Amino acid sequence: MPTFDSDRAAKLHRELHSHLPSDPALRVKTLESLAVERGLVAPESIDAWVEAYSEHIGPKRGARVVARSWLDPAFRERLLDNAAEAIKDFGFQGAATGHLKAIENTDDQHHVIVCTLCSCYPFAILGMSPAWYKSSEYRARTVREPRAVLKEFGAVIPENVAVRVWDSTAELRYIVIPQRPSGTEGWDEEQLASIVTRNSMIGTERDLNTEAL
């Protein structure tokens, strides 16, 4: 007579689920399959959009802008004066960056971006906005207690460093230019861009990590 081994069944259950995508991923895959099956979109189109946002339109675009500003003083000056015009050097202009403003972190000042009314975001150079950026908690608390919010992201801002919050709108969006880390002298643009993160360009990260390379 067969017996039921609960421990073995539980282990098998865990192993099976460890190989399955997350619930959101399954939902996305289901929607994708239905859209393709009904002829609403071609698989090639989906692949092209995924590649565009993950490899090109994502934060990598903004990272290139930041890296260029670290290497080229003339570009940095143009970027801080009129970011919407300066990023045309890369061909990154679009509806979400028509009135882009670049703001630069310094030794005594740190900047962080929020959109209190909705979730305006320069997706043309930073990719899709993270879920927390659109949350009501982030939008409300960042303007009231920015240091506490930044600390929750792991960015502890010294008391001698002023924190300034910039509120995005449909007409004006921002990108934070983080400080170039020490020890990166002699790095080329590609190397520098590889350490620039999305969060640092929103302002929820201050110190960039150079040890991961």
Catalytic residues: 115, 118-120
Query: What residues does 114 pair with on adjacent strands?
Result: 167
Please state the φ and ψ torsions of residue 161, each to the nearest 5 degrees: -105, 120
Tokens of 122: 């320069």
How far apart (Å, rounded) are the C-alpha atoms in residues 118 and 136? 9
Q: At what angle do helices 59-71 and 73-81 cross, to 10 degrees?
A: 120
Using DSSP, state whether 113 is helix, strand or coil.
Answer: strand
Give the Cα-Cα-Cα angle 198, 204, 207 (nearest 5 degrees).
Answer: 85
149 CB contacts (<8 Å, ≥6 apart)?
Answer: 112, 138, 141, 142, 204
How far apart (Å, rounded) are the C-alpha atoms in residues 26 and 20? 8
How far apart (Å, rounded) are the C-alpha atoms in residues 105 and 79? 14
Contact 169, 143 (CB under 8 A): no
